[in-house]
Structure formats: structure tokens, C-alpha cells
Amino acid sequence: MTIAAVQSKPAPAILPGSGGMRGAFSDLFWRRPQLLLLLMLLPPVLWLGIVYIGSLFALLLQSFFSIDEFSGLINREFTLKTYGDLFQAANLDIILRTVTMAALVTLAAAVVAFPIAYYAARYARGRWKALFYLGVMLPLWSSYLVKIYAWKLILAKEGILTWLLAKLNLLWLLDGWLSLPIVGGNSLSVSFTGTFIVFVYVWLPFMILPVQAALERVPGNLVEASSDLGASPGQTFRNVLFPLALPGIVAGSIFTFSLTLGDYIIPQIIGTSRLFIGQAVYSQQGTAGNIPLAAAFTVVPIVIMGFYLWGAKRMGAFDAL
């Protein structure tokens, strides 16, 4: 090829243009980025919109139907009667029990999570930091049912906890606790105490992560300044650390609270025969065939979480997520 020939042609691109259909589409997307954006968004939005939002609306719609008490058939006319049924004493009891449990679980998870999160955020460095991270992440991602099963093994009457307490000569303590009303029972695996422990265990990692994220942002010299100014460790915790960690705790509590409100498997496997919201939903839609009431029951956690999220947002919890 002569120099003249090269000069007469336009400079070639590094990669040859592909031309044809592909090239045409490529050019089109470059000139009309909106079109590309639309094409990218369409599949996920259609999927989530139809499958998920569509199903949620179907559920919401059914909560306004009612069930005919004699025939057991669903009456497809708009009514608020099903929501009225929620306020029967038995159903209010279920809601109150679930909310109390969720609140207690959240508190306990915060107390147990704080030292782990604080140590990981302030003292763990390098290899230890990675170890702490995996130490929280592995239980978080371990199988949910296996974790519950492990606690069934631990809390069983013949299980490891009874054995351990017997070795320590502390069996009287367990028996005393189990003879208490409400929290007690035949064994820990059929008591509210058992349900409570398993809830705390299963949701604990969800609390540790956001609290740790919030504590990472507290500069260490703030704590030092506080003790230089004469505060005791307790005062430093109350007046400096705790307020700064609070958004993280609230962020974690969103998970622990919401997950406890909706769970139906833990109280079914480890707990008493008294129902939680999740179990009520499950039995209403399954054996009782009362889908409208089940649908109305699911609206309760949605509404509670709505208020909760609104409050959390005002406390700045979303920045800590």
C-alpha cells in the first residue's frame, strides 16, 4: 500500500465498525440513550411490577372481601367487616403478643449486639477485623431452618443446656424459671422463653451490622476527650457513644422488629400453642380457608412497619444502613 493510498482513505478505527443490524442498534442507542434506558428498565420493572406489586394488590383487594360464615365461601363484595374481625379479643391478643415479643427481641438484640459491634468497630484491626466480619456474616447467611433446629437440640429437655446446668448444679434455677407463669412451660423448647432466645439468635446479625457501621463513624478521640474531661466510662457511654450509635440501633431494629412480626416458623417449632401474627395468617389461609382475614392480618405488620419506618427516618436511621 502506498502512502498516497493511505492518505486518500479516512483514518481507520482501531476496531472495525461492525455494521449491519448490530451496528445500527448500537448507533441508535448512542443517539437515543433514553431508548436504551427504557429497554434496560422494562424487564425488571415489568417482572417486579406484575409479579410482586400485582400480587400485593391482589392480597390487599381480598382483605376487603368477607367470608360467609355458614357456607365458608368467599363473598366478593366490598366490606370492612373483615377488618372489624381483627378487633375481636382473640385476634387483638395475637397482635399484642407479637408486638410485645418483637419489642423485647429488639431490645435484647441491641444489648447483645453492642459489645460485638463496638469491639469490631474500634479495636479490631486487619486480620481480626476480617474475622469479626466473617464471624457475623456466616451465621447471618447460614440456613435459617438449621439454626432453629440447632436450638431445638439445645433447648430440649434432654439437651445440652439441661446437661450443662446439671453439671453446674444450677438446675434449680431452670426449674424455677420454667415454673413461672407466661414465660415458663414444660421445657424451654415449648415456652415463650425459648421462642424469645431463638428470635434473638436468628436476627442478631441484622442488628450487629448497622450498629457497627454507625460506630465506625465515631472518631476515637471523641471518647478520649470525654474521659479527659472527667467522665466515667459509664457516663461516656450514656452521653457520647450511645447517642451517636442510636441511628444504627434504630436501623438494626427495623430488621429485628419487622422479621419478628412476620415470622411464623420459629414460634411453631419452638414455643407454646398460643399464636403469633404469622401463624394466624398461615392457619387462616390454610386450614380455615379464610383468605380475607389472613389478608387483613398481613396488613397489620405492614401498617406497624410503615409507622416504624416513618419514625426511623425522622431519627436519621437510613443514613446508617
- Please give the residues from 175 up to 204 whose contact with another protein meets the rule CB under 8 A: 201, 204
Q: Does 224 bind another protein (CB under 8 A)?
A: yes
194, 197, 199, 203: CA torsion to nearest 10: -160
Helix, strand and coil content of the chain, in percent to the nearest 5, comes to: 75, 0, 25
Among residues 6, 40, 180, 182, the one that binds another protein under rule CB under 8 A = 40
Contacts of 143 (CB under 8 A, 6+ apart): none
DSSP 8-state code for residue 16: -
Stretch in the footprint of another protein (CB under 8 A) among 2-10, 146-154, 171-179, 241-249: 146-154
Q: Is 93 in the site for another protein (CB under 8 A)?
A: no
Residue 29 touches another protein, criterion: CB under 8 A: yes
Q: In the complex, what is the shortest distance from the CB of residue 29 to another protein, in angstroms, rounded to a whole number?
A: 5
301 lies in the binding site for another protein (CB under 8 A): yes
Q: Does 145 bind another protein (CB under 8 A)?
A: yes
Residue 204 or 317: the one with the smaller Cβ distance to another protein is: 204
Rounded CA separation 188/22 (Å): 66
Q: Which of 17, 176, 243, 311 binds another protein (CB under 8 A)?
A: 17
Interface with another protein, residue 221, by CB under 8 A: yes
Considering only residues 5, 13, 73, 89, which one is a binding residue for another protein as defined by CB under 8 A? 13
- In contact, 194 and 151? CB cutoff 8 Å: yes
User: Strand, helix or coil at 168?
Assistant: coil
Using an 8 Å Cβ cutoff, are 60 and 295 in contact? yes
DSSP state of 20: H
Cα atoms found within 13 Å of the Cα of residue 151, Cβ hemisphere only = 25
| Residue 119-138 contact track with another protein, rule CB under 8 A, x = bound | xx-xx-x----x-xxxxxxx
Distance CA 283, CA 261 (A): 16
- Gap between the Cα atoms of 208 and 248, Å rounded: 9
Least Å from the CB of residue 16 to another protein:
8
Residue 165 binding another protein, by CB under 8 A: no
Stretch near another protein under the rule CB under 8 A, chosen from 86-94, 110-118, 174-182, 312-320: 110-118
Cα distances from 11 to residues 19, 26, 225, 289, in angstroms, run 17, 21, 66, 74
Q: Using CB under 8 A as the criterion, what x/- string covers residues 50-79 for binding another protein?
A: -xxxxxx-xx--x-----------------
Do residues 215 and 121 lie in contact, with contact meaning Cβ atoms separated by under 8 Å?
A: yes
Of 107, 100, 113, the C-alpha closest to 204 is 113
In the list 1, 7, 9, 33, the residue contacting another protein (rule: CB under 8 A) is 33
Q: What is the DSSP letter of 229?
A: T
158 is an interface residue for another protein by CB under 8 A: yes
CA distance 289 to 308: 31
Instruction: Please report, in angstroms and rounded to a whole number, the separation of the first and last CA atoms in the chain.
Output: 63
Nearer to another protein, 22 or 182 (CB): 22
- Non-local (6+) Cβ contacts of 239 within 8 A are 226, 231
Quote the least distance from Cβ 113 to another protein, whole Å: 7
Nearest residue (CB) to another protein, 184 versus 223:
223
Quick check: 244 binds another protein (CB under 8 A)?
no
Q: Which of residues 268-287 bind another protein (CB under 8 A)?
A: 268-269, 278, 281-282, 285
Q: Does 97 sit near another protein (CB under 8 A)?
A: no
Question: Which residue, 182 or 216, is less far from another protein as judged by CB?
Answer: 216
Q: Does 233 bind another protein (CB under 8 A)?
A: yes
The count of chain residues that interact with another protein, using the rule CB under 8 A, is 105
